[in-house]
Chains A and B, each alone.
Chain A
Amino acid sequence: MLSFITRRIAVAIPTILILVIFSFILMYSAPGGPFNSERPLPPEVLANIEAKYGLDQPFWRQIVNYVWGVVTQFDFGPSFQYKDRSVNDVIAQGFPVTLTYGFWSFVVAVIVGVSLGVAAAIRHNTWLDYLAVGVSVGAQALPNFVLAPILVLVFTLWLGWLPGGGWAGGQWQYVIMPVIALSTSYMASIARITRSSMLEVMNSNFIRTAQAKGLPMRRVIWRHALKPTMLPVISYLGPAFVGMITGSVVIDIFMSTGGIGQFFVNSAFNRDYAVIMGITILVGVLTITFNLVVDILYAWIDPKIRY
């Protein structure tokens, strides 16, 4: 187990490096640059700016400098677009926001999704099952750029219960709508996976045996069925967790939360190379970490798996 973890971490480092190089190449092959604007800058002004940000150096040199800065000083460079801020500032500002509503979305999605899935499976082929399936398929299919403005219309304009956007340091009123909007489709996926996995487990021999022994249903589910049911759910949760805590452009746009999703998209459109790189690396590291966590959880739950 330990050697497995060390091996995975050893692979992670070149993976990040490849990610950095790959992103650099993609970024630079996109048309335009961070300092293009409607009003082209005079060449001498542009030259000063490029010198300031090191963009006048050869491509490989920029990558080396960048990686060196990150590794030795944990410095992800200055933002080209938000000139009062460094990339570290941008992430320090935006990531806690995203993490907060992402985390709560995760909690909500798992609790509601698993309950809904289990309920549907236990009451297989009843109205509850059909309702759960209908709701989860609908929730998965509804684009959240439709859901988000509907939420604001209903809760802010019509009912007047919640503020229509903003973050205000993460007060609960401001967190509710982003959480609903973000968790809905994940909740739906979790419910669907839980349901079909649970159905499979309930049909398996060991559950039938347990039932045949006359164990009460509740006990069969809690003691025997739930753990194997969770296996496919957990492998979904790893990427889903990363997906949620890295937030959503749509939520950031509609709820004005100021999370990194918004920064990321803006940076891609503005060619703010340093911010793109910073956020990509952040997300990459999170992805690798949680894939690893999932694998470990998997091994812990399913004793058949050996590394």
Chain B
Amino acid sequence: MAETTSDDVLREMEANPVKGRSLWADARARFFRNKAAVAGLIALIFVTSFALFGGLFAQYERDYINFALIGSNAVNGVPSFETGYYFGTDASGRDLYSRVVQGTGISLMVGLIGALVAVVVGTLYGATAGYIGGRTDGMMMRTVDVLMSIPFMFVLILLLVIFGRSIFMIFVGIGLISWLDMARIARGQTLTLKNKEFVEAAVAVGVKPWTIILRHIVPNLLGIVIVYATLLVPQMILFESFISFLGLGVQEPNTSLGALIKEGAGQMQYGVLWQLLFPLFFFLLTLFAFFFVGDGLRDALDPKDR
């Protein structure tokens, strides 16, 4: 009996790396066959490099005010290559191009940090609950149920009020609330994983539970985690824009796409439509990119579809 088990393990260990690699290669092939996903990926690369290197082309600092332009934006602040204001100026007479560059960067960062926190916390929590099982599992998942019935908007607004001044804290906060779905998914997957032979083998040779979770369970959750994270990023970016709408987002002179859109939307009827359109374009492009890449990844990593 013991022999067959270890044989099985051996076979499994032999098969796994090869199979694993081919699984990822398969997924990659499937992903690149999906035109929308590839377009999304290209858009994402474009937006990211715009955020990283767009500043090199800016003619003005993002906080520099040309006082002659305040109050006469509609006439003198129009987008133009001659003046160096590629995207025109904002209501305060600042270069909109360099602000959009920075806004894109901050929105991306905020989306990534929020999603990262949600995914890390959710995965670890779910994997732990699922692996330990029994009463602990029950307790941990009931807690998730309870937290899920807390109106999210409410918590969000209170968090804003308490951590008002630090955008980073806000997103740690939001990430910490958004981990609930991830926890459920991770637990479900863990339940099926924990009866697999390689986990049983690890238990048999006396590996500590925590190490098993980190070394054996979590890596096998990677596919679904990546998909979920990609779909979570645009949500985070949307949240950020809502926070900016309430006037509680990033502190001036820093900015985010949400803040720029909010400002532009307010100025919509005053003949300075570019103040809305440029940030909105990058906002939509970023979200499109994440949506399509996320969908593409899900189709690629979820073989039951085929």
Contacts and interface: CB of A to CB of B under 8 A. Distances in A.
Instruction: Please indicate whether A and B come from the same complex rather than being unrelated chains.
Output: yes
Interface of A: 11-12, 14-15, 18-19, 22-23, 26-27, 29-31, 133, 137-138, 140-143, 145-146, 149-150, 153, 157, 196, 200, 203, 246, 249-250, 264-265, 268-269, 276, 279-280, 283-284, 287-288, 291
29 contacts: A11-B142, A18-B146, A19-B146, A23-B154, A26-B155, A29-B162, A30-B158, A30-B162, A31-B162, A133-B36, A137-B291, A138-B288, A141-B234, A141-B238, A141-B283, A142-B284, A143-B242, A143-B261, A146-B280, A149-B265, A149-B268, A157-B269, A246-B151, A264-B154, A264-B157, A268-B158, A269-B161, A284-B151, A287-B149
A153 B258 CA distance: 21
A200 B158 contact: no
B261 A146 contact: yes
B149 A284 contact: yes
Given A143-B242, A288-B149, A196 B261 contact: no
A206 B124 CA distance: 37
A11 B143 CA distance: 11
A285 to B, nearest CB: 9
Contacts of A264: 153-154, 157
Contact of B268 (A19, A150, A276): A150
Contacts of B95: none
Nearest to A291: B149
Given A30-B158, A141-B283, A250-B245, A291 B151 contact: no
B151, B162, B295, most chain A CB atoms within 10 A: B151
A213 B241 CA distance: 51
A1 B238 CA distance: 38
Contacts of A203: 305-306
Given A141-B234, A146-B276, A280 B154 contact: yes
Given A15-B146, A200-B305, A141 B158 contact: no
Given A19-B146, A249-B246, A268-B157, 19 more contacts: A12-B149, A19-B149, A22-B150, A31-B162, A141-B234, A141-B288, A143-B238, A143-B242, A143-B261, A145-B242, A145-B265, A146-B261, A150-B268, A196-B295, A268-B154, A268-B158, A284-B149, A287-B148, A291-B148
Contacts of A284: 149-151
A156 to B, nearest CB: 12
Contacts of A250: 242, 245
B154 A276 contact: yes
B12 interface: no
What is the predominant secondary structure among interface residues of chain B facing chain A? helix
Interface string B270-306: 0000001000100110011001100100000000011
B262 interface: yes
B36, B154, B306, most chain A CB atoms within 10 A: B154
B220 to A, nearest CB: 23
Nearest to A136: B291
A150, A250, A276, A280, most chain B CB atoms within 10 A: A280
Nearest to B150: A19
A146 B146 contact: no
A150 B158 CA distance: 29
B145 interface: yes
A140 B294 CA distance: 14
Interface in B150-207: 150-151, 153-155, 157-158, 161-162
Nearest to B266: A149
B162 A138 contact: no
B143 to A, nearest CB: 9
A137 B292 CA distance: 9
